[in-house]
Structure 1
Amino acid sequence: MTQPEAADNRDKGTIERVSSFVPGLDVILGGGFLRGGLYMIKGTPGMGKTILASQIIYSQEAGQSRTLFVTVLGENHGRMMMHLRSMRFFDEARIPDQVFYISAYGALEDEGLKGLVALIRREVVARGATMLVLDGLSAVEAKAGAEYEMKRFTHDLQTLASATDCTMFLLTTASGTLAAPEHTMVDGLIELRHRSFGSRAERRLLVHKIRGTGYLEGEHAFGISDAGVTVFPRIEALLAMPSLRAPPPTARLSSGVASLDEMFGGGIPAATLTGLVGPSGSGKTTLGLHFLSGSSASEPGLLFGCYEPPERLRYKATTMGFDLAAAEQRGDVEILWYPVGEHILDELAHALLDAVRRRGVKRLVIDGLSGFQQAALEPERIVRFWSALSNELRARDVTTLHTLELQELAGPEIRIPISGIASLAEVMVLVRYVELRSRLYRLISMSKVREGAFDPTIREFEITDAGVVVGKPFEGVEAVLSGMARAVSANAYVASSEASLTVPPDAGTGRTE
Structure 2
Amino acid sequence: MDEKTTLISSGTPGLDEVLGGGLRRGCLYFVEGDSGTGKTTLGLQFLLEGLHRGERALVVSLSETAGELATAAASHGWTLDGIHVRDLTGKVDDGGAPVLFHLSETTLDERVGHLLEALDEVRPERMVLDTLSALRSLSDRSGNLRRQLEIIQRRAHQLDCTLLVVDELFGEQMLHPRSLAWGILRLEQCIGDYGPQRRRLYVPKLRGQPYLGGYHDVRICTGGVEVFPSLRSVPLQSGFKHQAVSTGLEPLDGLLGGGLHRGTSTALLGPPGSGKSTLVSQLAIALAGRRERGAVFLFDESVEIFRLRTKGQGLDLDPHLDTGTLRLTRVDPAQCSPGEFAHGLRRLVDEDGVRFVALDSLNGYLHAMPDEQFMHLHVHDLMSYLSARGVITLVTMTQPGPFNTGERLSVDLSYLADTVLLQRYFEAHGAIHAAISVMKKRYGDHEHTIREYHIGPRGLMLGKPLTRFRGVLTGVPEYLEEQGP
Do both share a fold (TM > 0.5)?
yes
User: Which letter maps to 1:267?
Assistant: G
Q: CA deviation at 1:297?
A: 7.0
Question: Could you tell me which of 375, 400, 404 is aligned with 1:407?
Answer: 400
Q: Within 5 A, what are the aligned runs for 1:477-488? A: 477-488=469-480
Q: CA deviation at 1:178?
A: 5.4
**Structure 1 residue 314 and structure 2 residue 307: aligned?**
yes
Task: Tell me: CA distance 1:418–1:292, structure 2 relative to 1, closer, same or farther (3 Å).
Answer: same
1:222 maps to what in 2?
Answer: 218
**Structure 1 residue 188 and structure 2 residue 183: aligned?**
yes
Tell me how far apart the structure 1 counterparts of residues 310 and 349 of structure 2 sit (CA, whole Å). 22
My pick for the range that moved more, 407-416 or 359-368, is 407-416
My pick for the range that moved more, 426-435 or 48-57, is 48-57
Tell me how far apart the structure 2 counterparts of residues 177 and 191 of structure 1 sit (CA, whole Å). 16
**Structure 1 residue 251 and structure 2 residue 243: aligned?**
yes
Task: Tell me: CA distance 1:264–1:150, structure 2 relative to 1, closer, same or farther (3 Å).
Answer: same
Q: CA deviation at 1:63?
A: 5.6
The DSSP-based 3-state class of the residue aligned with 1:150 is helix
Percent sequence identity is 28
**Structure 1 residue 102 and structure 2 residue 98: aligned?**
no
1:27 maps to what in 2?
Answer: 17
Output the aligned Cα RMSD: 2.3
Deviations 1:130-164 (A, max 9, x none): 11111121121121222331121121121112111
Tell me how far apart the structure 2 counterparts of residues 71 and 51 of structure 1 sit (CA, whole Å). 13
Q: CA deviation at 1:109?
A: 5.7
Deviations 1:292-311 (A, max 9, x none): 11215742111122122222
Tell me how far apart the structure 2 counterparts of residues 215 and 109 of structure 1 sit (CA, whole Å). 41
TM-score, normalising length from structure 1? Answer: 0.86
Task: Tell me: CA distance 1:461–1:13, structure 2 relative to 1, closer, same or farther (3 Å).
Answer: closer
In 2, are the aligned partners of 1:191 and 1:208 still within 8 Å (CA)?
yes
In 2, are the aligned partners of 1:416 and 1:422 still within 8 Å (CA)?
no
Q: CA deviation at 1:371?
A: 2.4
Deviations 1:414-465 (A, max 9, x none): 633303x321221110011112233211110001122222111111101110
The DSSP-based 3-state class of the residue aligned with 1:290 is helix
Q: CA deviation at 1:228?
A: 1.3
1:434 maps to what in 2?
Answer: 426
User: Which letter maps to 1:232?
Assistant: F
1:453 maps to what in 2?
Answer: 445
Q: Within 5 A, what are the aligned runs for 1:59-458? A: 59-62=49-52, 64-72=54-62, 74-88=63-77, 90-92=78-80, 94=81, 97-103=82-88, 105=90, 106=101, 112-177=107-172, 180-199=175-194, 201-236=197-232, 238-239=233-234, 241-242=235-236, 244-246=237-239, 249-293=241-285, 294-296=287-289, 298-413=291-406, 415-419=408-412, 421-458=413-450
Task: Tell me: CA distance 1:223–1:14, structure 2 relative to 1, closer, same or farther (3 Å).
Answer: closer
Task: Tell me: CA distance 1:61–1:476, structure 2 relative to 1, closer, same or farther (3 Å).
Answer: same
Gaps spanning 5+ residues in structure 2: where? 91-100
Tell me how far apart the structure 2 counterparts of residues 306 and 437 of structure 1 sit (CA, whole Å). 36
Tell me how far apart the structure 2 counterparts of residues 20 and 220 of structure 1 sit (CA, whole Å). 16
Number of residues of Structure 1 aligned to a counterpart in Structure 2: 473
Tell me how far apart the structure 2 counterparts of residues 148 and 178 of structure 1 sit (CA, whole Å). 9
In 1, are the aligned partners of 2:230 and 2:339 still within 8 Å (CA)?
yes
My pick for the range that moved more, 121-130 or 438-447, is 121-130
Task: Tell me: CA distance 1:258–1:177, structure 2 relative to 1, closer, same or farther (3 Å).
Answer: farther
User: Which letter maps to 2:144?
Assistant: E
In 2, are the aligned partners of 1:277 and 1:284 still within 8 Å (CA)?
yes
User: Which letter maps to 1:383?
Assistant: H
Deviations 1:26-56 (A, max 9, x none): 1222211111111111222222221221122
In 2, are the aligned partners of 1:137 and 1:171 still within 8 Å (CA)?
yes
Q: CA deviation at 1:322?
A: 3.5
User: Which letter maps to 1:121?
Assistant: L
User: Which letter maps to 1:272?
Assistant: T
1:40 maps to what in 2?
Answer: 30
1:6 maps to what in 2?
Answer: none
